[in-house]
Structure 1
Amino acid sequence: MNGSTTGRDLPTGVSLTAVGIAIGRAMESDRADGLFKDPYARAFVDAVGASAVAGMGTFSGYVAIRTRFFDDCLLRGAERGRRQVVLLAAGLDTRAFRLPWPAGTHLFELDLPALLAFKEEVLSREGAVASCRRTVLAADLREDWTPALRAAGFDPSAPTAWLAEGLLPYLSAADNDLLADRVGHLSAPGSELALDHLDPETKRGSLAATSDTLDGLGASWLSTLDDPAGWLAGHGWTVRDAPTRGALLKRYGRGRPAPGPDRDRLSGLAAAVREG
């Protein structure tokens, strides 16, 4: 079922980027060889209108690979017994509905209240049913969201799978450090963290046009990371998987990168573990 929402404000500013990501997921879901299927992505886009995020469609190839990379990270964590999952800046993510979670999984979604209200309305209209226990928490991740997470049933003594997708570049470096400290304090040994990051050269180079588009939406990238492995280590995490662009394309069968230095540059995706 498509059409605009009623009684709710549509996403604006940084929340509009979630619609842009939904466009990429909808496009990938339409492919016969899609890396995943998101049955609700199109409904989010239709509720807002693709024109609201014109220019982000060119980002769809990266969105597809990023989504699948994180799907794999979370499902491998589930295989290792992680039954507690936290999506930081969940946006219009539908993993609670589309992934085959093991029994006993409790998934928490945190994001800005207006965006979550929009999301819940669309999901309700689509008749979406979660495949795990799902708790939605309105939160500004620049503030202290940890008491609300604990109050909602989060157990800091249990190893947790954390996902920070499409989040770090939109926060300042100081806010990222604070976020990492808060996540670390809630993470038992064996917890896992997956995230994406942006390096300065990529922002100025291949993603310069995307950066300009985001500036126009009022959702600028505020920070970059030169050394993601070092940054994670400084916050108590050991990187387990940080593929290059060439390796990532090969992993998911999406062709070969053009010859040149970009092939061996980090992909901007990383998965880490908190060792005891």
Structure 2
Amino acid sequence: MTRTDQDSWDLASSVGATATMVAAARAVASNEDNPIINDPFAGPLVRAVGLDFFTRVVDGKLTTAETPEGGLGDLQVETDSIAVRTRFFDDFFRDAARDGIRQAVILAAGLDARAYRLSWPDGSVVYEVDQPQVIEFKTTTMSSLGALPSAERRTVSIDLRDDWPMALRSSGFDVTQPTSWSAEGLLMYLPPDAQDRLFDNITSLSAPGSMLATEFHPPSETTMSERAQEFNQRWLNLGCDIDLSQLFFDGDRSDVVEYLSDHGWQVSSRPRRELFADYGRDFHDSEALSQLRNIVSVTATLG
């Protein structure tokens, strides 16, 4: 389905299905030997969505006989990549909490269960922002699982292309307190101008000392849609037909590091491939993984 400026979705369609895809990878990664993440809710959430392919992924029912040559290797690539990304953002929130930040905002929260699975300090408030259907599904499913948040969880049901800052403040967000913000696996699903507005809004809502974690694809001669074909092929090798090239927005984008630096943030960045080594995972570099290699992970502090 081709994106439009005001499209919407649930967790079985469009951008929402990619949240289910990522949760499936987290579930697999959590059950590996010597896992670097622990997300006990990822599997149950994926099963509740009900997409057969991803249910089989989390239940370990994809076999070599079912997948084209190299398919299970592609699953390992995706699993390792999502595990590394997840650990990066987990560590970010833990570090922010150790620095005394007690207010967190997870943008495009999807099936993110950090409000339940991380050990938040007393007094922490975690805001989850996402489409109404996504928020409702996760809240209902987690309740049915008997899961309780480990922080005060507040949901903000709104599209990030709408006036989410007002909705966030209406939910009790305190602009006078430092905040830890995450924009994980998000930017490529926003139009270029919406990416700038997102960072403008984060900056305007942030007290000094606030922290931000995100990631981005650096400029390339190929468009975002063309780059998506690499990811498409790996999932197609497994038998999944989600077409990411129809979900990304093309166009010239601001360089995230430069944009944040110009707006008062102290920024550090590292390519995803370096994080693999940090967490004890091998990055099997190849031309087929060129786009994954170049993804940049960013942390920033305001002021």
Please tell me the TM-score bracket, short chain as reference: 0.7 to 0.9
Q: Aligned letter for 2:207?
A: A
Q: CA RMSD in A?
A: 2.9
1:218 and 1:76 mapped to 2: Cα distance?
34
1:84 and 1:42 mapped to 2: Cα distance?
27
CA contact (8 A) 1:23 1:45 kept: yes
Choose 29-38 or 53-62, whichever is displaced more: 53-62
Aligned to 1:195: 214
CA 1:178–1:256: 2 relative to 1, 3 Å = closer
Choose from 62, 67, 83 the match for 1:64: 83
1:218 and 1:117 mapped to 2: Cα distance?
27
Give the length in aligned residue pairs. Answer: 266
Q: Deviations over 1:139-192 (max 9, x none)?
A: 110111111211211110111000011111100110011111111110011000
Secondary structure of the structure 2 residue equivalent to 1:149: helix
Aligned to 1:174: 193
CA 1:122–1:64: 2 relative to 1, 3 Å = same
1:204 and 1:219 mapped to 2: Cα distance?
7
Map 1:7-156 to 2 at 5 A: 11-47=12-48, 48-51=50-53, 57=75, 59-156=78-175
1:183 and 1:106 mapped to 2: Cα distance?
17
Q: Deviations over 1:180-225 (max 9, x none)?
A: 1111110011000001212344858875332577872685121575
Deviation at 1:238, TM superposition (A): 1.9
Secondary structure of the structure 1 residue equivalent to 2:123: coil
Deviation at 1:232, TM superposition (A): 1.8
1:215 and 1:28 mapped to 2: Cα distance?
21
Percent identity, please. Answer: 37
Choose 231-240 or 194-203, whichever is displaced more: 194-203
Deviation at 1:135, TM superposition (A): 0.3
Secondary structure of the structure 2 residue equivalent to 1:243: strand
Deviation at 1:112, TM superposition (A): 0.2
Normalized against structure 1, the TM-score is what?
Answer: 0.86
1:170 and 1:100 mapped to 2: Cα distance?
30
1:239 and 1:266 mapped to 2: Cα distance?
18
Aligned to 1:3: none
Q: Aligned letter for 2:276?
A: L
Aligned to 2:68: none
Aligned to 1:249: 276
Aligned to 2:247: 220
CA contact (8 A) 1:169 1:221 kept: yes
Deviation at 1:231, TM superposition (A): 2.2
Aligned to 1:163: 182
Normalized against structure 2, the TM-score is what?
Answer: 0.79
Deviation at 1:237, TM superposition (A): 1.9
1:235 and 1:161 mapped to 2: Cα distance?
17
CA 1:133–1:43: 2 relative to 1, 3 Å = same
